[in-house]
Amino acid sequence: MTDTINADDGNATESRTPIPPVELRRPRASELEEMLAGKLYDASDPELDRLRTTSADLCSKFNALPRGATAERKAVLDELLPHHGEGLDVLGPVFFDYGIHTTFGDRVFANFNFTVLDCAPVTIGDDVLFGPNVSLLPPMHPLRWQDRNVRRREDGTAYDYEYGLPIVIGSNCWFGGNVTVLGGVTIGDGCVIGAGAVVTRDIPPNSVAVGNPARVIKTITDADASALQDYAQ
């Protein structure tokens, strides 16, 4: 079977045989190891599904607890997010793909609807503030639908190819509401990311970045301390 493609001038045509869907043929470690290494992996793998189910159940349990149930919330959060420093404060609801692949420094605060799809490592420094509806999104899908769509093997089992890119967030950062950070991004220490920004590339330290895609509009300096004086009077 061939596709016929119209050339740019609308007159000539070119026939070509479609490239078949990608198949993973290399010797493979576990799908979990492939995923954390940033390689193409099968997201429908039973081990990964089990880990996601555990995370989803813990998220649901945490989200159902009242804010005043401090001890119970901490116990669930410690199980969901075992790699965190002192003073983690998460309002909820929260949504994590795995939880175990996200590392928090000390004194991190996350407002309502914090979403982290941590199929790749997510690393967050100390003293980071997340506004409501912030999403950290490492997952990537193939661009061609032939490679992206869920397919089935001869035995009827499904396979679903994805890959993920890590996210690194430095210390002393503040994220406004509805910020989205995509995979492969590093945000330096001391940054402010404006509300609604979509961060698609690295942000250097001490930057203010806004927009979609996010762009740096200012470097923060000690001179910015003077702006607080009006509020301190």
The CA-atom distances, in angstroms, between 131 and each of 3, 88, 114, 160 are 48, 14, 8, 32
Phi and psi (nearest 5°) for 135? -125, 130
Q: Return the residue matching tokens 């959060």.
A: 77
Asked if 141 is an active-site residue, the reply is: yes
Name the active-site residue from 83, 84, 101, 141: 141
SS (H, E, C) the chain: CCEEEECCCCCCEEEECCCCCCCCCCCCCCHHHHHHCCCCEECCCHHHHHHHHHHHHHHHHHHHCCCCCHHHHHHHHHHHCCCCCCCCEECCCEEECCCCCEEECCCCEECCCEEECCCCCEEECCCCEECCCCEEECEECCCCHHHHCCEECCCCCEECEEEECCEEECCCCEECCCCEEECCCEECCCCEECCCCEECCCECCCEEEECCCCEEEEECCHHHHHHHHHHHC
Tokens of 82: 């075992």
Active site residues: 141
